[in-house]
Structure 1
């Protein structure tokens, strides 16, 4: 990683699959850090399935709300595509050019104007962007540690270990993994999942979020943000993400 002292710390949030709740987790982290008094930058570099590409999509809008950032739309959500497909396919259908270098530079602009920056990917690490480049390549180019969000349900051990193994093989710095949507009354298999993963993953368990059943995404984010500070792994999360102390930002 480069040692550019002009760039604030940050994290790149990815998922083991679509639908694991990485947007909610990223937004909860943003809200928590904002409450600590930090200037939090957020970025959804590639959002597909956007109803009106002239505006931010739902994910980017939620991140903006949680972080209270005033950054321009084209920094928070530089690529907005209609088709609910992988970015490379959506861009091809809509005859849109995805400028990989511009995405990287935009992340650096945000890191020069905030205390901490949260970038949320699209799907998982192997999602194609353009020209043979993957989300994993974007993580490497942005030089941000990776936080992997996974689910507790059947199949997650395989999906999570594959994601973490891929990150390790591609030399991506990894802050750890976080289990989202744990039922309030899990059976033994679900309850044991975080510990099983921690034993096998060679990566730190950053937390386990309980299921947030509310219909409204903003209320879900508030609930997860409240959970965050009381996580038994909070000190590990803070250390691995290296967000600045209040007053030192």
Structure 2
């Protein structure tokens, strides 16, 4: 099965926007399926991660077809489920994933947070990534600490037998006073033995769907390796 499991090095780094933009971009070549095993902090399904992913590929069905669990409290999946007095089942997640996989030629699965986020008792997000059997894409910030966060994620993934396809840095401000981005890329590639597939610039947009469209256009026009994914 072609596809990627997409994880982040942190929360609030634009992982959903990048995943949805990739899905939109790849839809020109494949019948793309999108899946969010668990989402939290959702008070309006139309503005949820799964909804943005579904809308990016023009999926005609309800966004409920693209996630297994959705919770209102903005907490880790295990905590959000406990707050809602629910339990999360790996079997249900994999059953929903299988449905998406069967109707698709290319699948993008977006995790919640990072690989080591607790989902349920004795279940981490990394365990779901392993079960999906897809190579990993890592989305990272361009800020101080990124090198350490990325290398830790790569090390964790490889120690668990998860293939890491590459790293995408999102939201780089050209005139930022933060770390030199070229040096950051170089060090990640050297110490992680991995390819940095792209550095997506900071893009201003009036809403999330507009941002997804603009990132997708940037990927299409980019001469960086991210444009060759798939």
Shared fold, TM over 0.5: yes
TM-score of the aligned structures, taking structure 2 as reference length: 0.93
What's the CA shift for 1:71? Answer: 4.4
TM-score of the aligned structures, taking structure 1 as reference length: 0.86
Q: Does 1:122 align with 2:115?
A: no
Structure-2 separation of matches of 1:104 and 1:15 = 21
Q: Give the 5 Å matches for 1:49-198.
A: 49-52=41-44, 55=45, 58-187=48-177, 189-191=179-181, 192-198=183-189
Report if the CA contact (8 A) 2:6-2:136 is conserved: yes
Report if the CA contact (8 A) 1:205-1:233 is conserved: no
What's the CA shift for 1:220? Answer: 1.1
Report if the CA contact (8 A) 2:10-2:114 is conserved: yes
- Structure 1 residues 161 and 94, CA gap change in structure 2 (3 angstroms): same
CA RMSD of aligned residues (A): 1.8
What's the CA shift for 1:73? Answer: 3.6
1:20 to 3, 13, 20: 13
Runs of 4+ in 1 over 4 A off after TM superposition: none
Report if the CA contact (8 A) 1:39-1:69 is conserved: no
Report if the CA contact (8 A) 1:148-1:176 is conserved: yes
Structure 1: 5+ residue stretches without partners: 1-7, 244-249
Structure-2 separation of matches of 1:235 and 1:85 = 31
Structure-2 separation of matches of 1:45 and 1:56 = 17
Structure-1 separation of matches of 2:178 and 2:203 = 20
